[in-house]
Structure 1
Amino acid sequence: MLLRKLSLLAFLFTLSLSSFAQGIEFFHGTWEEALVKAETEGKLIFVDAYTTWCGPCKRMSANVFPVAEVGDVFNANFINVKLDMEKAESVSFRKVHPVRAYPTLFWINGKDEAVHTSVGGKQVNTLIAAAKEAISKQDDIEALAAEWEAGDRSSKLAFTYIRALVRRGESHLKVANDYLRDQKDLTTPDNLNIIQVATTNADSRIFDLLMKNKAALVALNGQDEFDATVKRAVNATKARSLEFKDASLLETAVKKLSAVDPAAGKQLKLEGEFELAAKGTDEKDFLKAMKNYLKKGVNGDAVRLQDVYQVAANSKFIGSDKVLDMAIEAAAASAAAEQDGGFEKYYRLAAFLLSQDRTEQALTYARMAKDLMPEGKANYGRAVDSLIQKIQNSK
């Protein structure tokens, strides 16, 4: 089978701009360095205050933080830090921000003041909602809008106002375009920073300005920041192509990215065509796109394999045996790539297969989940035993 021929070690390769299934990127400096970075960049610090024995902490690290949608929000708006509350690395943090339950999620400004706090494990949607609530507390957008309407066109206000609009997910293009249109010199540091913060979509004039001024922006803010801006803008245009089922938007995103990184453009094309086909009505087109992506774009990556399974399982084509077989194989390969043996993924796959009347396969994966389950997982053990019994009773 196709996926069995893929090396499951390939997902360990170093991810670059070419990876679009990337979640939260965590900062690896000290807490004091994170504070300086936050103050300098005008961003909040997102802190995952966790312990190694906390179950919800582990589930978020495994299943929520790696999600691309989460990474898009957090990498653009925050400096992201993970702190083990039982290690020396968190001593100075704990003196100011005591933690009584795990995980506790903090959003902290550069002055070491907590702007927003949320306790307990989160799913993708609830974590993004918490992030947006933190963002809403960061900027006084009404005051900024009033200054702008009063006629202040300074670069400082333009940058702060545009950044606040971007953070909130509100339309900023009119403000940005009005400001940039009146500038005689777009290459000043202030104007370059405004171009960079305003570049949120690849299908825009501002993205073209970003590319035109690439050398100056890299010299000003670094290659990593430039690449991250391109990646976010391209991902946003790809997301709009899926939302509106618009292949031309995907083509634009691929074209703009390919001009920077041809390999990344190829990867985006394969992934985007697969996801777009899942929203269509032609099963043959979907099968073709799915096979193509698995063969040329997944590269054995565990997260991508899981994404293939999720997209297929939630598509209108999952009733097709061919689609279902490929989805099962992708899910199983993703589970096999997990360091803990993937027992949770095998369990969820077994439950899904039961719902699809694939009882024999469901029983196989449920037993694999039981065999691979580490010690100390009594709740999961009971759930797996219950699922096995349910499968056997359904025969």
Structure 2
Amino acid sequence: MKKLVVAAFALGLSLSVPAQTDFRSISFQEAVNAARQEQKMVFIDFYTDWCGPCKKMARETFPQKKVGEYMNKNFVCLKLNAEKEGKELAARFEVKAYPTFVILDTNEKVQADLKGFMDGDTFIAKVKAGLNPECSPERMAERYQAGERTPELVNNYAFHMMEQRKEKEGFEIIDGYFNSLSDAQRLDKANVFLFTRYTMSIDEPKSRFMVEHRNEFDASVKEDIADRISRLYRAKAVTYFSGYQLRSNLYKEEEYLALKKEIFDLGLDKKYKYAPMFRLIEGRLTCDDDAYVAMCAKEYDSLEELDRSLLIMNLTRLIKTEDPAILKKMSEFIRTHLREMAPSCISVASRALDDIESRMNKK
């Protein structure tokens, strides 16, 4: 059965409905009693109506099959609005940020306290680590300094470093571990986190290894590997599509053409519409501003939904002009499509529109 994916880069829906996290409609005391009877712990998701990361957890993480299976097996789960029915419990457990996830034993003692949005793999790993005394920050440091290099420790310790905003130290742990492994060890599914969690660019050594050996990973993780490869290539393509490479004087034709060739060679264009994106990237190099605005209008409907928003949000980076006629066309193009954009993108697009129209009105 395929995983249910509600994220922006969804690859498709399974015909069967996967397991989801079972948040029960019961009281706190009923949850504690149920946990005693079922030999589980109590998990509480404290959220608010206005919390964006809370909604993202509900939309993207808790519905995942692997998350649901893990949570339902180990916890009696509650979802409480910290400003409404969960207000007293939120105060009792000193909840001050959202979302906050509190795990209690059947004596109502806090065993773990986690905060913020996490993807499925990260969430499961953080819950497990939070309940494991061997994964406390102090104990992890001791184990690492003593020379332990198990996949679980490396993953949890590096992630802890990054949560403390020590990204450099975190990636030194990850890269040192990756470099110490043989090819066979890198392909072990216990080490798949190196690729699915800690690859930031398609150009780094871990990513290149992942691409070159993509068909050699265990069947149980191939979908995750394929998804990560797809995301990394698109992220690199977006640096060209958004105008970043061009405006930062980083554009090199041979690198762009190599990226384009790899995307087609890997068949990534079969699941994501890259052709209109590439036409616009290349059009920006050959068209004047007036022709490029017209090209944006022509290609807009051919783009993936995410790329439509990106085009509008980056239009003022792509087109640097003070020509009133071109500014007017840019304004008309954005206004035509503003209502179609995702709410999270509208504010950025609106600022771009205000900038364009303020310059128009000065002429």
Partner deviation per Cα, 1:138-158 (whole Å, 9 max, x = no partner): 886676455434422222222
Distance 1:99 1:211 in 2: 48
Q: Which runs of 5+ in 1 are unaligned?
A: 1-13, 20-26, 34-43, 51-55, 66-70, 82-90, 119-134, 360-395
2:178 maps to a residue whose letter is: L
How far off its partner does 1:289 sit? 5.6
Residue of structure 2 equivalent to 1:98: 86
How far off its partner does 1:176 sit? 3.2
How far off its partner does 1:207 sit? 1.1
Partner deviation per Cα, 1:223-244 (whole Å, 9 max, x = no partner): 2x33442244335545777375
Does 2:155 align with 1:170? Answer: no
2:229 maps to a residue whose letter is: V
Q: 2:330 touches 2:356 (CA, 8 Å); kept in 1? A: no
Residue of structure 1 equivalent to 2:205: 205
Residue of structure 2 equivalent to 1:179: 177
Instruction: After TM superposition, list the pairs within 5 Å mapping 1:82-121 onto structure 2.
Output: 92-94=78-80, 98=86, 105-108=98-101, 114-116=113-115
How far off its partner does 1:48 sit? 6.0
Q: 1:203 touches 1:252 (CA, 8 Å); kept in 2? A: no
Distance 2:360 2:48 in 1: 42
Task: Please give the secondary structure, in 2, of the residue aligned with 1:247.
Answer: coil
Distance 1:294 1:201 in 2: 30
Identity %: 10
Residue of structure 2 equivalent to 1:79: 61
How far off its partner does 1:189 sit? 1.9
1:245/1:16 CA distance change after superposition, 3 Å = same
Task: Please give the secondary structure, in 1, of the residue aligned with 2:335.
Answer: helix
Does 2:335 align with 1:332? Answer: yes
Residue of structure 1 equivalent to 2:37: none
Q: 1:298 touches 1:304 (CA, 8 Å); kept in 2? A: no
1:256/1:18 CA distance change after superposition, 3 Å = farther
Instruction: After TM superposition, list the pairs within 5 Å mapping 1:231-246 onto structure 2.
Output: 231-234=230-233, 236-237=235-236, 242=244, 245-246=249-250
Partner deviation per Cα, 1:178-237 (whole Å, 9 max, x = no partner): 3233334233221334343332210022112212342454722352x3344224433554
Partner deviation per Cα, 1:107-140 (whole Å, 9 max, x = no partner): 437779553379xxxxxxxxxxxxxxxx9x9886
Q: 1:162 touches 1:175 (CA, 8 Å); kept in 2? A: yes
Deviates more, 1:137-146 or 1:240-249: 137-146
Residue of structure 1 equivalent to 2:20: 29
Residue of structure 2 equivalent to 1:299: 302
Q: 1:108 touches 1:115 (CA, 8 Å); kept in 2? A: yes
1:205 maps to a residue whose letter is: P
1:331/1:105 CA distance change after superposition, 3 Å = farther
Distance 2:139 2:238 in 1: 31
Q: 1:144 touches 1:161 (CA, 8 Å); kept in 2? A: yes
Does 2:190 align with 1:158? Answer: no
Task: Please give the secondary structure, in 2, of the residue aligned with 1:94.
Answer: strand
1:332 maps to a residue whose letter is: R
RMSD of aligned alpha carbons: 5.5
1:239/1:329 CA distance change after superposition, 3 Å = same
1:160/1:309 CA distance change after superposition, 3 Å = same
Distance 2:276 2:100 in 1: 32
Q: 2:45 touches 2:102 (CA, 8 Å); kept in 1? A: no
What TM-score do you get using the length of structure 2 for normalisation? Answer: 0.52
Task: Please give the secondary structure, in 1, of the residue aligned with 2:197.
Answer: helix
Task: Please give the secondary structure, in 1, of the residue aligned with 2:200.
Answer: coil
Q: Which runs of 5+ in 2 are unaligned?
A: 1-6, 13-17, 25-42, 64-76, 91-96, 105-110, 118-125
Q: 1:155 touches 1:190 (CA, 8 Å); kept in 2? A: yes
Q: 1:271 touches 1:297 (CA, 8 Å); kept in 2? A: no
How far off its partner does 1:92 sit? 3.0
1:110/1:28 CA distance change after superposition, 3 Å = farther
